[in-house]
Amino acid sequence: MAKDPKNEGPSEEEEPKIKDKRKIDPETGDVREPLEDPDVADGDSDLSDEDLAILDSAERDLVAEYRDRAARAEAELKNFRTRVERDRAANREAVIAEVLRNLLPAIDDLDRAETHGDLVEGSPLAIVASKIRGGFEKYGLQKIGEKGEPFDPKLHEAIVQVYSKDVSVNTVADVIEPGYALGERLLRPAKVAVSVPEP
């Protein structure tokens, strides 16, 4: 609109131009044909074909960039979920291992009672011992240390060492206190007497 130099307002001689850009005709409800801007109608666009091609390329690049960002965000979220699940499982195993480690002395006492004949089959103490051992086995608790197996310093703790001509490698001669493992996690090494080959 032209402005009047005196009052800087719109000129009274020119009426405002109103363009109805609605896509649907409010009276008939029909879809209207797109209006051509008179400034651009005769090919007087400020943008050349080269500029339009650059804009189109920029739009495609922007879409590709946002798709790439979305894919990366989705991959990061998946990795985060995997890491959280893995950490949750590791924490659960650590808690179970700590609880079982604290109860190992009770299992040792049950083993000693059984050795001394205090766990008569059908007695209340034998039933309790059976339930406790069954509960530990449910979580995967495994006993370590058998007489006659090869000595493994990762699983056994040698308390006594005895020379023997009957063995060619270090061998467990006797189990003083059994060890326990939970899956791959060693809770306690077995305390053993070891037979070693004579020099």
Structure tokens at 180: 């326990």
pLDDT tens digits, residue range 28-86? 877 777 655 555 444 445 677 777 778 778 888 888 889 899 999 999 999 999 999 99
Task: Record the pTM.
Answer: 0.56
pLDDT tens digits, residue range 126-176? 888 889 888 888 888 999 989 989 999 999 999 999 898 888 899 999 999
- Domains (range + CATH), the chain: 49-139 (3.90.20), 144-199 (2.30.22.10)
Q: Are 49 and 43 in contact (CB under 8 A)?
A: no
Tell me the C-alpha to C-alpha distance, in Å, between residue 137 and each of 100, 130, 131, 133, 197: 11, 11, 10, 6, 36
For the beta carbon of residue 145, count every other beta carbon within 10 angstroms: 22
